[in-house]
Amino acid sequence: MTKTILAFFTDVHLGQKLIAKGEITGTKMGYEATPQEHEHHLRLVLDDIARKGISKVVFGGDIGTAHSVAGFFELLRAYAFDVSLILGNHDTYVNVTPYYDKGGGTVAGKLCYSQQDPHLKRIFLDTSDNAVGDGQRKWLARELEGVKRAAIFLHHPIVPLDTPIDRTGAALRDRDEVRSLLIGMGCRVSLFCGHYHMIDEAREANIWQYVSPAVSYQIVKQSDCLKDDTGTFGYRILEMDKEEIKTQVVLFSEP
């Protein structure tokens, strides 16, 4: 049986150096602009994907500083990848669309689109303003009409996580509305996201959610406060066939 194999990598944060190390002060992540920050991690991840013979990749958002966007796409062009891309809260539509344009999008000011896979429908959402928004939710509902299986790629998780960062204001503003919409649809939904810089898998009703590790650094999932792990990074491999989606997390550690 023919499978569709994708690599999902996210949260590169090129040029954004985490200011605090170890225990993060307060409830927000602080960065300072540092050229080439995390570029080495990105190259290692992309090299590993190419070495495995995977030709399709999905980037899950958060390229990094505005000045790093051109370099990000230049680096991607060095590989023979079929690239799909979504926007995260560190991205802006106007900065990214000159390099990755889906024909103006189907919702004004949002980089959202869909693809028909042999086994399911793939949907890509834009949460760069920390929300899906009313217009994009209406578009999503139309895209899911009559669909039995869907893989949805968006930067933010929809199913809540039991982790400190979920309680710091980092959650998607309208995730309850999106979750209710998805549960109300008559299809099996697999969500692939990042944003929280950790690995997590959860299920609620007809939703299977997979949170993937960041290319830049991780955030400790179970902790009394926000703590980072700058020595671990990685991505997720997806294998899609007629019956199921299998996933595998690939992790790297700094020496």
Render pLDDT for 221-246 as a digit per residue (tens, 0 to 9).
Answer: 988 778 899 999 999 999 999 889 99
3-state SS string for the chain: CCCEEEEEEECCCECEEECCCCECCCCCCCEEECCCCCHHHHHHHHHHHHHCCCCEEEECCCCECHHHHHHHHHHHHCCCCEEEECCCCCCCHHHHCCCCCCCCCCECCECCEEEECCCCEEEECCCCCCCCCHHHHHHHHHHHCCCCEEEEECCCCCCCCCCHHHHCCCCCCCHHHHHHHHHCCCCEEEEEECCCCCCEEEEECCEEEEECCECCCEECCCCCCCEEECCEEEEEEEEECCCCEEEEEEEEECC
pLDDT at site 26: 43
CA distance 58 to 47: 15
Taking only the tens place, the pLDDT of each residue in 71-91 is: 999 999 999 999 999 999 999
Q: What pLDDT band is residue 116 in, cutting at 50, 70 and 90?
A: confident
> Which tops the pLDDT comparison, 23 or 156?
156
Among 15-19, 102-106, 157-161, 197-201, the minimum mean pLDDT is found in 102-106
Domains parsed from the chain with CATH numbers: 4-253 (3.60.21.10)
